[in-house]
Structure 1
Amino acid sequence: MTADPPLLGTSGGPAVIRHQLAERAFDAIATGVGDGTSVRALFATERSQRRVLLRAVLDAARPRPDAHGPLVAVDEVWDLLVRAERSDPAETARVLYQPQTGIWATHVLRRIRNLVYDDAPLWADVGYLHAMAAAAAIRCGLRFRLCVPLRQGAAMLPTLGYARLPVRDAWETVEVAVTARGAVRCTSRSGTTVDIRRPLDLDTDDSAGWTPCTVLHARAGRGALSVVLDDIDPYRHILRPSRPARLTPAALRRWETMLTQAWSLLVTEHPEQARGLSTGLSVLVPLARAERFRPRSASSGDAFGSLLLSEPDDAVQLAATLVHELQHAKLGALMHLFDLYENDSRNLFYAPWRDDPRPLGGLLQGVYAFFGVTRFWRRQRQVAAGSRSVLAHFEFALWRQQVAHTLRGLLAAPELTGLGRRFLDGVAIVLAGWLTEPVPGNVAQRAAAAAMNHRAGWRIRHLCPPADAVEALARAWAAKVAVSGPVPPSDMRPDPAARLLDTRSALTRLWLADRDAFRELQRCDGVGRRVSGATAADLAYVSADYPSARQLYLSDLADSPDRPDAWVGLGLTAQAVGHKLVAQAVLTRPELVLAVSRAVAARTGRRPHPWDLADWLGGCLRGQGADAL
């Protein structure tokens, strides 16, 4: 890989670079092999993307007086960046190409174009460029003086740390200067100073008022991983700038331990993914602890190399999450180079890993991410033992099924370009082999039920059946006559309040992995306070106490006839006990069952019995199946 061209002066633009990706590299990325080489190639393109964004900010901010405020003009800052790069290109690159730069640049451009609102003055956001220039100059050993934003008492020097100074106003400036002895002095408008004696030593907090960045190191065999655990940079989060939120020492130790263990697992058992992560991952942004088996993670195409994630349950979960987000990063970089689908598509699709409908681009990202997750669990089930092995079999069986279901629909989408179809064909070829691999019978059944649970839960919340078909069925029910003939497909009407579609899947994971914890959950009062969205009926269903589950779901529907989760739970219970007609109706067209129940109540003044209605509708729908998602 050739060296990056230098940034140009204030009157020029970024140098023209033509990136190419060999056909075999494109195909390797699709099939998930050769990750180290492919990520290095993609990272080179992301550096070019970052330079273009930097130049766009410069051009957009230059004519705006409110983009400068009390700070010097952006042209002067650009000149300092050019000076730093000429002195030490590698150290300057560490600042310019950090993932937070991409989030910051896109945020500033959206603000200037009035696409987002922020209560901070525009100059405070634009001034992150000044902070980057100061950090680059410090890294290069240059002498300089420059004012940078002081955001609510914190002056960030990207990749180094932040100084804390008392403030009169939420938005002020602080002067950063390098002393004759090479130390850094930050001086507020009130004259308060913070001296940073060793700014490049990220492992030592040696100055009052100075908090260095945290870097975690992990090593296993010949593989090494070093990442910034970023809890301080204002642009570490995707949606909006954030204040520093330092981890406690205990939380930091847990992250260090988890990362060390996860990296050892990846290097030992998943070496291709480890090579990709060592090249493409540079920043972890910690989020608050999530519920067990419900980790939260996110990444952005604007921030290649950065990953936001909640504190994991264990090292295996962390390793799986790292693989998941690496897939997102690779595909995001690839889509900066190639059009895999037409951008004018406004259609929304079912995504088996989300509560909400997704656009085509998001669905493509999800397929590729969970393709990588499936690969991870395929290997993990071969090396895990005991309950961990059972859980790995479950994850493999579930995600190969969900990816295959979604992939079939994606490959039929007319919006795909030729390259997009070629990319997904590569995924499909590998996945086809995995679909034939055996999984223990009981685990396979639970994975199939989990897939059906999510699909039915999504349908009942986001689809609406035709009103005339609903009324016809309600009249027929009231008249006690049978109905035959196909029911037209439902229309999508997204429900923005839909959430917690994974509740029964989370309980299933707990049942498979930690039976003692599950039984403790059964003994406690208020299961919904422990596992959001869970009910006593769900516990009975997951533990295979189907008579109790049926009665409890019916009781829930007697109290709240429109509860989507109770309707779907009733259908799953019917499927488990072999009542095909009830399962047919509730699991393939749950939105229709609920709509007819409401229509019957409106017509007769009382709700029909859920089981009886579903049994009757199952007969009406016999052989029809669900319309495609």
Structure 2
Amino acid sequence: MSGPFVPFRQFVLKVHSRCDLACDHCYVYEHADQSWRGRPKVISDEIVFWAALRIAEHVKEHGLDTVHVVMHGGEPLLAGRDRLGRIAAELRSRLGGLCELDLRIHTNGVLLDERFCEVFAEYGIKVGVSLDGDRAANDRHRRFADGRSSYDLVVRAVEMLRSRPELYAGLLCTIDVANDPVAVYRALAALDPPHIDFLLPHATWDDPPPRPAPTAYADWLITVFEAWTAEGGSPPVRMFESIIRTLGGGSSLTESLGLQPSDLVVIETDGSYEQADSLKTAFDGAPGTGLHVLRHTLDEVARHTGILARQQGLDGLCDECRACPVVDSCGGGLYAHRYRTGSGFANPSVFSADLFKLITHIRRRKRMSAPTHTVPAAAVDALASGRGGRHEVFHLAESQRSLRRALLAAVNTAVNPAANPAANPAANPAANPAANPAANRTVSPAAGDGTAARGAWELIATLDGTHPGVVDAVLAHPYVRVWAAECLRDRGHAGHLANVAAAAAIRAGVTAALDVQVLGGSVHLPTLGVLEVDPGGAEPGSRRTARLEAEGGSFRLPGHGALGVITPGGGGPAWHPVRRLSAGDFSVALEDTDPFRDCHQWPAAARLTGEEAAAWQSAFERAWALIESDHPEYAPGLRAGLTTLMPLTPAPEGREVSSTARHAFGAVAAALPDDPATLALLVIHEFQHVKMGAILDILDLYDEKDTRLFYAPWRDDPRPLEGLLQGTYAHIAVTDFWRARRHSAPDPAQAQFARWRRDTAEAIETLALSGALTPLGARFVESMRHAVTPWLDEPVPAAVLEAAARSARDHRRRWTAATSPPGRP
């Protein structure tokens, strides 16, 4: 079968086909498909080589920027440390430089020890663990063959991961309605997982799940949802967040919900390609494709009828599902759960009634609840301390996602007044994606008329239904929001909407044609790079359009045939891709191409030379190592929210310069400093402003009508209340940086710590006494004070203390002289 398909982005690599537990609910060993019996126990080095090669081919063919590989089983730890290390090394070697590799392993945790963790740390492997709740819940199914409990060993493994949070991916829990839902949830939440995945037990209409009541699974999950909501919605629960996202028009985080096409394939220990493991519950041989890594490419697998059947969105559902009012969120449920002998998968899910009740309950609760963009109280307190980790920054990032979409909808309304408001929900740029699920639609708006903006919008809407992760990634680029805000002020930038759509189409690998904006002689594609169309031949700021045609992850401008076909990951005389900076498994964009990046306090640097980019890479790698070793409290939040570094032009006087922009969430701008420690400080400092900007987008901390100006100990000019709040919050991290730095570089760290702790504490008191804080703002500032106050008692040499006091007095005296009205002392 030939034709368009969705490239694979998720790969499950079976590294061992046996298990050391005998869980009676296991889909691999206890359900209809028994193909594991004839497969090798452990994957061979040859199969690993070919699997990595096939994935790399697929990445290059489709220009994929990220792929996810999960090492799975059976129990993957049975493959041993050495083999797992070799597998990881092969994957990283093959994919390094081609794309980002999110490498994970999913285990029952029984064998996990420090030596495994050392291997996982070396190769950047995150670890997910299966645990069904408290001891009673877990031991109902998850036991050894002789009946022994696995609970203590698994909890020991999770505690080991909690001590190494960079390895901790989350917990997976299979639901049994005989277990106490609140006890299960709280037992899992107490282990502080980055995510919890609740899974419905695999079942079909031929072999339905145990069901003591008609909607027993919905009732169980609703009880958990209410407890989760009451406790602030943390830790994240993937099922609940997927329902909330899809109810708002966004993408699901799991293949068991939503209408987005599946992009997952399994590679078994013998090298066979299979569909999702959940199909093992349907019938013997259900996941099989008959294809093998030694003989077939992943493109051939992607065209397999079974794979294509799981990529049809609304069109792939039965009539009953298509007519359901919650189909956009439910998506028909997990494909395997629809199976019935005689009608195959053309049925609703065997959990259909449960999904309907759960989704409608969450929808009703969200409608009744307070504002959409909220942050749990515990997360607010953690952020107010000046830190805040992955979970807290995740909440900020999610609120930014909705704000970006609302802003894009406003841009569409502004540039396309004829747009139907019903197709422009503020939380989602797409009209109902189910109404137009085509993954490879060609959009050809005519140049110079109103259909251009409309065509770009329609393309984004279509892609949001078929490739929602791609749309999210493009819209998350910090300078897309900057452009959108600017576009509402200056309609001359409206043409860039087509560039945003083109970037999404190229990343999705679909076919599209549209007229993009040529700004100053170049076509700028956010997240991808810039193509010089008229090098040296266009006036700065000049605007025109050019036809862009995208196909299979590449693009061309047919009116500029000499440029040829451009592959985003490549380079060339005219094409300048966005570079990336990497340090271990953490990577950010080095953005020196986007025309809307010049929105900071200091001017943006021009496109970097190769030598300059290499200097940034070296400095970033060393700066990140210093952050992780000396300032580990800030690393998880940075991982969750920092996406972009933007080079600034160095200041003439040689001073260090750095900045953030109010609308550019995720971006830190800086001129490259001379040493990595300074870069680490600038990143930590400026990311505080990124966080505070996002906080102020969704929380009212002060009276915006208050126009008074205040003294800030680090500024020569008086500051409005928001500026003082921003600066004080940032200087908590500056103080904390020098506080930790005293142990490795006492000079100048002692003096800097003494100065900034004093000044930051003073500014906190100015905020607290301003009389302009809301109750939430007062609580926020009190948490800031609580973080800084203990530092005031830490010992510092007397001479250093006196110097800090003298510096503070001198600064205040100069500030007063400069800002006092004429005639007043």
Q: Residue 524 of structure 2 aligns with which residue?
A: 156
Query: Aligned to 1:333, which of 669, 694, 719?
Result: 694
Query: Aligned to 1:211, which of 576, 584, 587?
Result: 576
CA deviation digits over 1:81-122, x for unaligned, max 9? 01122222112211011111111111111225xxxxxxxxx1
Say if 1:276 and 1:326, in contact at 8 Å, map to a contact too: no
2:681 matches 1:311: no
C-alpha distance in structure 1 between counterparts of 2:639 and 2:607, whole Å: 25
Say if 1:234 and 1:242, in contact at 8 Å, map to a contact too: no
Which one is further off, 442-451 or 266-275?
Answer: 442-451
C-alpha distance in structure 2 between counterparts of 1:239 and 1:37, whole Å: 28
Query: Aligned to 1:370, which of 725, 731, 743?
Result: 731
Cα pair distance change 1:33/1:365, threshold 3 Å: closer
C-alpha distance in structure 2 between counterparts of 1:327 and 1:242, whole Å: 21
- SS across alignment from 1:73: helix
Q: CA deviation at 1:64?
A: 9.8
CA deviation digits over 1:508-537, x for unaligned, max 9? xxxxxxxxxxxxxxxxxxxxxxxxxxxxxx
Cα pair distance change 1:161/1:380, threshold 3 Å: same
Pairing of 1:516-555 with structure 2 (within 5 A): none
- SS across alignment from 1:156: strand
TM-score under structure 1 length normalisation: 0.65
C-alpha distance in structure 2 between counterparts of 1:240 and 1:229, whole Å: 18
- SS across alignment from 1:271: coil
Aligned-partner residue type, residue 333 of structure 1:
A
- SS across alignment from 2:510: coil
2:496 matches 1:128: yes
Q: CA deviation at 1:248?
A: 2.1
Cα pair distance change 1:183/1:280, threshold 3 Å: closer
- SS across alignment from 1:251: helix
Q: Residue 624 of structure 1 aligns with which residue?
A: none
C-alpha distance in structure 2 between counterparts of 1:168 and 1:273, whole Å: 44
Cα pair distance change 1:51/1:182, threshold 3 Å: closer
- SS across alignment from 2:523: strand
Query: Aligned to 1:184, which of 535, 547, 555?
Result: 555
- SS across alignment from 2:683: helix
- SS across alignment from 2:489: helix
CA deviation digits over 1:313-350, x for unaligned, max 9? 21111111111112111111111121000110111111
Aligned-partner residue type, residue 498 of structure 2:
H
Q: CA deviation at 1:61?
A: 1.6
2:591 matches 1:230: yes
Q: Residue 563 of structure 2 aligns with which residue?
A: 194
Say if 2:566 and 2:575, in contact at 8 Å, map to a contact too: no
Gaps of 5+ in 2: 1-235, 252-365, 420-446
Q: CA deviation at 1:379?
A: 1.1
Cα pair distance change 1:288/1:182, threshold 3 Å: closer
Cα pair distance change 1:208/1:103, threshold 3 Å: same
Q: Residue 171 of structure 1 aligns with which residue?
A: 543
Cα pair distance change 1:236/1:371, threshold 3 Å: same
C-alpha distance in structure 2 between counterparts of 1:64 and 1:373, whole Å: 50
Query: Aligned to 2:490, which of 88, 92, 111?
Result: 111
Q: Residue 578 of structure 1 aligns with which residue?
A: none
Aligned-partner residue type, residue 427 of structure 1:
M
Say if 2:502 and 2:525, in contact at 8 Å, map to a contact too: yes
Q: CA deviation at 1:34?
A: 3.9
Say if 2:646 and 2:668, in contact at 8 Å, map to a contact too: yes
C-alpha distance in structure 1 between counterparts of 2:406 and 2:704, whole Å: 21
Cα pair distance change 1:87/1:379, threshold 3 Å: same
2:506 matches 1:138: yes
Q: Residue 377 of structure 2 aligns with which residue?
A: 23
Q: CA deviation at 1:429?
A: 1.4
Aligned-partner residue type, residue 25 of structure 1:
A
Say if 2:393 and 2:640, in contact at 8 Å, map to a contact too: yes
Q: Residue 119 of structure 1 aligns with which residue?
A: none
Q: Give the number of equivalent residue pairs.
A: 434
C-alpha distance in structure 2 between counterparts of 1:243 and 1:368, whole Å: 25
C-alpha distance in structure 1 between counterparts of 2:621 and 2:748, whole Å: 22
Query: Aligned to 1:345, which of 706, 711, 716?
Result: 706
Q: CA deviation at 1:293?
A: 7.8
Q: Residue 117 of structure 1 aligns with which residue?
A: none
TM-score under structure 2 length normalisation: 0.50
Cα pair distance change 1:244/1:354, threshold 3 Å: closer
Aligned-partner residue type, residue 171 of structure 1:
R
Q: CA deviation at 1:246?
A: 1.0
Identity of matched residues, %:
36
Cα pair distance change 1:315/1:293, threshold 3 Å: farther
Q: Residue 604 of structure 1 aligns with which residue?
A: none
Pairing of 1:438-453 with structure 2 (within 5 A): 438-453=795-810
CA deviation digits over 1:469-489, x for unaligned, max 9? xxxxxxxxxxxxxxxxxxxxx
Q: CA deviation at 1:281?
A: 0.5
Aligned-pair Cα RMSD in Å: 2.6
C-alpha distance in structure 1 between counterparts of 2:409 and 2:390, whole Å: 29
Q: CA deviation at 1:444?
A: 2.3
Say if 2:600 and 2:661, in contact at 8 Å, map to a contact too: no
CA deviation digits over 1:586-624, x for unaligned, max 9? xxxxxx3xxxxxxxxxxxxxxxxxxxxxxxxxxxxxxxx
| Structure whose residues are more often helix by fraction | 1
- SS across alignment from 1:258: helix
Q: CA deviation at 1:70?
A: 6.0
2:819 matches 1:462: yes
Query: Aligned to 2:480, which of 85, 95, 101?
Result: 101
Pairing of 1:362-511 with structure 2 (within 5 A): 362-382=723-743, 384=744, 388-464=745-821, 467=823, 490=824
Aligned-partner residue type, residue 85 of structure 1:
D
Q: CA deviation at 1:292?
A: 8.0
Say if 2:522 and 2:532, in contact at 8 Å, map to a contact too: yes
C-alpha distance in structure 1 between counterparts of 2:629 and 2:532, whole Å: 42
Say if 1:292 and 1:313, in contact at 8 Å, map to a contact too: no
Q: CA deviation at 1:447?
A: 2.2
Pairing of 1:42-53 with structure 2 (within 5 A): 42-53=396-407
Say if 2:605 and 2:648, in contact at 8 Å, map to a contact too: no
- SS across alignment from 1:177: strand
Say if 2:499 and 2:524, in contact at 8 Å, map to a contact too: yes
Q: Residue 300 of structure 1 aligns with which residue?
A: 661
Say if 1:176 and 1:187, in contact at 8 Å, map to a contact too: yes
Q: Residue 360 of structure 1 aligns with which residue?
A: 721
C-alpha distance in structure 2 between counterparts of 1:63 and 1:150, whole Å: 23
Say if 1:293 and 1:313, in contact at 8 Å, map to a contact too: no
C-alpha distance in structure 2 between counterparts of 1:235 and 1:435, whole Å: 42
Q: Residue 82 of structure 1 aligns with which residue?
A: 461
Gaps of 5+ in 1: 9-14, 113-121, 468-489, 491-591, 593-629
Cα pair distance change 1:79/1:367, threshold 3 Å: same
Aligned-partner residue type, residue 26 of structure 1:
V
C-alpha distance in structure 1 between counterparts of 2:387 and 2:474, whole Å: 30
Cα pair distance change 1:243/1:217, threshold 3 Å: closer
C-alpha distance in structure 1 between counterparts of 2:730 and 2:666, whole Å: 15
CA deviation digits over 1:180-210, x for unaligned, max 9? x65311244xx454234422x2xx31x3411
Say if 1:236 and 1:242, in contact at 8 Å, map to a contact too: no
C-alpha distance in structure 1 between counterparts of 2:532 and 2:457, whole Å: 26
Aligned-partner residue type, residue 418 of structure 1:
P
Say if 1:88 and 1:140, in contact at 8 Å, map to a contact too: yes
Cα pair distance change 1:58/1:244, threshold 3 Å: farther
Q: CA deviation at 1:443?
A: 2.4
Aligned-partner residue type, residue 215 of structure 1:
R
